[in-house]
Amino acid sequence: MRFGVIWDKGYLLIPGVFDEPWFSNGIENVIYIPRNLQTAFWSFPKILNEKPFIEPSWNGLSIWITTPAFIFAFFAPIKRKLVQYLWAAILPIFLFVLAHGSNGFAQFGYRFAIDFYPFLILLTALGVEKMGLKKIHWILLLLGVIVNLWGVVWINIFGWVIF
């Protein structure tokens, strides 16, 4: 309703949007999926030879680096209807954001994953419930908190934003 149509045409209103190299094949295109998969699952912090020795990649960081506890989503009982519905919600959303021309630059993490994180959080909780709360759950949760705290401190306190 915002644009007078039932779909979002906001990107089309940006002057020169198709001149941007990341939208060279349109706003949404399956050709972008490999690039976004790279960001979502295989983007790491940059290792430096001088202080501070490690910095986030502003192209994004892998989901499993920023939130390693999400691995327990795969332990949720797949025979349970709720688990099936959650995966059925995540997969089309994830495919749609993977086909987007931009990966969300500049960001800490994989920006567009937040579109399906509520479902993934619930799946993770169901996976932990199935396994029973163990030390490994706390370790991965703490690791995710530390990684995200590093991002907050890096950006907001020290202002170490390098593009």
List the one residue out of 157, 37, 49 whose CA is nearest residue 100: 37
Determine the 3-state secondary structure of 100 from DSSP.
strand
Residue 97 one-letter amino acid: V
Task: Output the CA–CA distances (angstroms, integers) from residue 85 to 65, 97, 112, 149, in the order listed.
Answer: 26, 19, 20, 32
Question: Residues 120-161: pLDDT tens digits?
Answer: 999 999 999 999 999 999 999 999 999 999 888 887 877 766
pLDDT tens digits for 84-103? 999 999 999 999 999 988 88
| The residue type at 117 | Y
pLDDT above 80 (res 22): yes
Choose between 101 and 57: higher pLDDT. Answer: 101
Q: Could you report how far apart the first and last alpha carbons of the chain are, in Å?
A: 36
